[in-house]
Structure 1
Amino acid sequence: MENYQHNRDQEIDMVRVSDRLRGYASRANDYFFDGILFLKRNIIVLAVLFIAGGALGYYFDKGKKVYEQKLIVIPNFKSVDYLYETAELLTSKSQTRDEEFLQGIGIKDPGKFIEMEVEPIVEVYDFIESEKDHERNLQLFRILAENASVEETLKDMATARNYPQHLVTITTSGKADADEVVNPILAYLNADKYYGEIKQQWQRNLDAEIKAKDSIIAQIDAIINTFNKDARAAGENLVYYNTNTQFNELIKTKAELVEEQGNNMIKKVNYESIIKPSSTMLNIKKKSFTSGKMKYIIPFIFIMLFVFISLFMAYYKKQMNKRKKIAGNE
């Protein structure tokens, strides 16, 4: 008897589930047919919206494009903060449409300039191998390596100050040549009076260092020549001097000085400017999710808005009729 009742309950449950499924299928069929009727009633309006949206989207796609001018620069004389702050200043001037200021720094068409951004070029190993503060930098990197978000920390502004190179991105409306935007901004960056004085002092210090090291190298060469002359005069083999600790130290010192002088000559080139550009890439087309797709996006938006408004109006009328019937029955 219990088994019979259990089977009976199962049959009733299956019937209920089957009825619900048929109900869902019927409602889905009704919604689908309502959609066909909606399309039939509004086919002309939808076609007009599609064509108008496509034309407007095509116009936007063919409109003035946004381009990026990218520069790799070396901020010298501890001018990293100055570079970032100037980028924020120029972007602010563009956003407030201060064309008088932008023209004053040499930008020929201020309307073209949109913004200026700076980001560090992460060179961890160059940072660690820096000839100055090598041990401090190495210890700092060890601390960073223990951090779970190493990548974010390396790009953080506090860390970014220590990287030698930074990427400057100047965004313009339409293509621009170097003389229109890039060169005036570089000239403005390098015209700062304070950093100009600092640059002159650093250059004088570097020239003095180069001169002093050239003198030391010349003295080492003179000592080595004296050793060689003495060895030849004594008829001794030069291999003898390879075991001479002082002689080997002289050779090693000279090699180190020559390497340092090579680095100093590179510094001399970089120290020509406060913000020294090392490479420039002009008119890189800036792409976004909507680039070239407005001809599809705008018709879709127009049609979705029309459908939403139509559904809202139908819902509104249905609710109003419902309330009128309730009021009439009362």
Structure 2
Amino acid sequence: MENYQHNRNQEIDMVKVSDRLKGYLSRVNDSFFDGILFLKRNIIVLVVLFIAGGALGYYFDKGKKTYEQKLIVIPNFKSVDYLYEAAELLTSKSQTRDEKFLQGIGIKDPDVFIEMEVEPIVEVYDFIESEKNHERNLQVFRIMAENASVEETLKDMATARNYSQHLVTITTRGKVSADEVVNPILAYLNADKYYGEIKQQWQKNLDIEIRANDSIITQIDAIINTFNKDARAAGENLVYYNTNTQFNELIKTKAELVEEQGRNMIKKVNYESVIKPSSVMLNVKKKSFVSGRMKFIVPLVFIMLFVFISSFIGYYKSQINKRKSIAGNE
């Protein structure tokens, strides 16, 4: 008896599932046929929207393209924060269409300038191998490595201050020359009075350091020459020294000073500007999902809007008729 009841319940469940499936397929079929009727009623309107959208999209595709001017710069004299804040300021001036300000810094046609963005060029190993802060930077990197989001930490502003190079991206409408946008912005960045004074002092300090190192190297050379002369006078054919002797320390000190002088000569070149450009790439075409696809996107948007509006009107009318029918029956 129990088995019979169990089988009976299963049969009833299968019938219910079958009925639901048939109802679902019937609704799908009705919806598909409604779509065919909708297409039949509005075929002319849809064709017109498709042609008009395609023409408008083609016009957008042929319009003035957006380009990027990319610069790799070195912010000297601890001016990293200044560079990022200046980029935000220039972008805001563009967004508020402050043409007077933009023309005042040398951009003759403010309409071509869209925005300016800055991001650090992550140089983890150069950061770690910094000659002055090697141990501190290594410890910082170890802490970052323990963090789950190392990539985000490396690009975080607090970390970005320690990178020597940063990528500046200036977005423009249409192609531009360096004199139109890039050079005026660089001139504006390097015209800050405070950092101009700091630059002069750093340059003076660097020159003093270079002269002092040259003097020490000259003195070390003189000591080494004297030692060699004394050795030759004593009849020695070979200068031999132990790693623990003061003479060897002089040799090591000279090697370190020569290496430091090489870095100082590079600094001397970089210290010519507060924001020193190391490379410039002009008119890199900015690509996005819609680039060159507007001729397809615009017609699709027009048709979707028409279908949505028509469906909404049909839904509204059906609900009104439903309420009128209910009110009439009452």
TM-score, L = length of structure 2: 0.96
User: CA-to-partner distance for each residue in 1:227-270, whole Å, 9 max, x for gaps?
Assistant: 11112221213243356712211111111110000000000000
The structural deviation recorded for 1:11 is: 2.4
CA RMSD of aligned residues (A): 1.4
Aligned to 2:180: 180
Partners of 2:231 and 2:239 within 8 A in 1: no
Aligned pairs for 1:1-330 within 5 A: 1-242=1-242, 245-330=245-330
Partners of 1:228 and 1:238 within 8 A in 2: no
Distance 1:80 1:7 in 2: 78
Distance 2:326 2:203 in 1: 91
Q: How many residues align?
A: 330
Partners of 1:49 and 1:303 within 8 A in 2: yes
Q: Which runs of 5+ in 2 are unaligned?
A: none
User: CA-to-partner distance for each residue in 1:116-149, whole Å, 9 max, x for gaps?
Assistant: 1111111111111112222222222222222222
Q: Which amino acid aligns with 2:183?
A: N
Distance 1:137 1:14 in 2: 70
Q: Which amino acid aligns with 1:47?
A: V
Distance 2:17 2:190 in 1: 79
User: CA-to-partner distance for each residue in 1:155-202, whole Å, 9 max, x for gaps?
Assistant: 111111111111111111111110000001111111111111111111
Distance 2:243 2:194 in 1: 53
Q: Identify if the C-alpha distance between structure 1 residues 244 and 8 changes in structure 2 by more than 3 Å, giving closer, same or farther.
A: closer
SS where residue 240 of structure 1 aligns? coil
SS where residue 278 of structure 1 aligns? strand
Partners of 1:61 and 1:294 within 8 A in 2: yes
SS where residue 110 of structure 2 aligns? coil
Distance 2:3 2:244 in 1: 107
Partners of 1:75 and 1:274 within 8 A in 2: yes
Q: Which amino acid aligns with 1:102?
A: L
Q: Which stretch shows the higher mean deviation, 14-23 or 250-259? A: 14-23
